[in-house]
């Protein structure tokens, strides 16, 4: 990823590079195998000319190294989870954390069987009274609230 981001920054001459990842939770431990197919557990791993202690918080260490080398300006993670994470306070279907696990911001989304379905329904308004107009608009807006909150947090990161 170091080389991909360096090349992108060089080729496009961007002023601000935001590294965005989409994950399904906390990183798992990487598995390594020797030539015979036996699993090995290295003590250190070399990435971009630097040795990292192999084990917990490896992703965080790598992201911090990338930040120190100015590979990116900020790092955002969209994390789709299928169970409730106790450490995130969910509001409007999403949880937010700043400066955690090497990311500047983590946006945690609750996934379920309907997660990727897109609601593109139209606003239907009952114009028989002012109160029905207001109710129609509120009902329609409720379904869009999570998207607006996530979009706002994303815009804060990239602007």
pLDDT for 134 equals 74
> Tell me: the pLDDT tens digits for 126-146?
767 777 777 776 766 665 656
Mean pLDDT, the chain, rounded, equals: 78
pLDDT for 141 equals 63
> Tell me: the pLDDT tens digits for 45-76?
888 999 988 777 888 899 999 999 999 999 98
* pTM value surpassing 0.85: no
- Inform me whether the pLDDT recorded for 79 exceeds 60: yes
pLDDT for 91 equals 64
Question: Residue 64: helix, strand or coil by DSSP?
Answer: helix
Give the residue extent of every domain in the chain. 2-158
- State the DSSP string of 1-28: -HHHHHHHHHHH--S--EEEEEESSSPP
144: CB partners within 8 A, 6+ apart: none
State mean pLDDT over 3-9.
94
Contact yes or no for 63/18 (Cβ under 8 A): no
pLDDT bucket at 9, cuts 50 / 70 / 90: very high
């Amino acid at each position: 990823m170091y080389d991909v981001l360096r090349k992108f920054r060089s080729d496009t001459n961007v002023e601000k590079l935001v590294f965005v990842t989409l994950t399904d939770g906390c990183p798992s431990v990487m598995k390594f195998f020797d030539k015979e197919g036996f699993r090995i557990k290295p003590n250190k791993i070399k990435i971009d000319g630097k040795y990292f202690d192999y084990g917990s918080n490896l992703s965080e260490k790598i992201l911090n190294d990338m930040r120190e080398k100015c590979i990116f300006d900020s790092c955002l993670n969209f994390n789709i989870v299928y169970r409730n994470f106790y450490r995130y306070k969910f509001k409007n279907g999403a949880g937010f954390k700043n400066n955690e696990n090497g990311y500047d911001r983590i946006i945690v989304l609750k996934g379920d069987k309907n997660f990727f379905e897109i609601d593109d329904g139209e606003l239907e308004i009952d114009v028989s009274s002012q109160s029905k107009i207001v109710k129609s608009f509120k009902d329609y807006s409720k379904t869009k609230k999570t998207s607006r909150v996530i979009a706002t947090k994303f815009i804060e990161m990239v602007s």
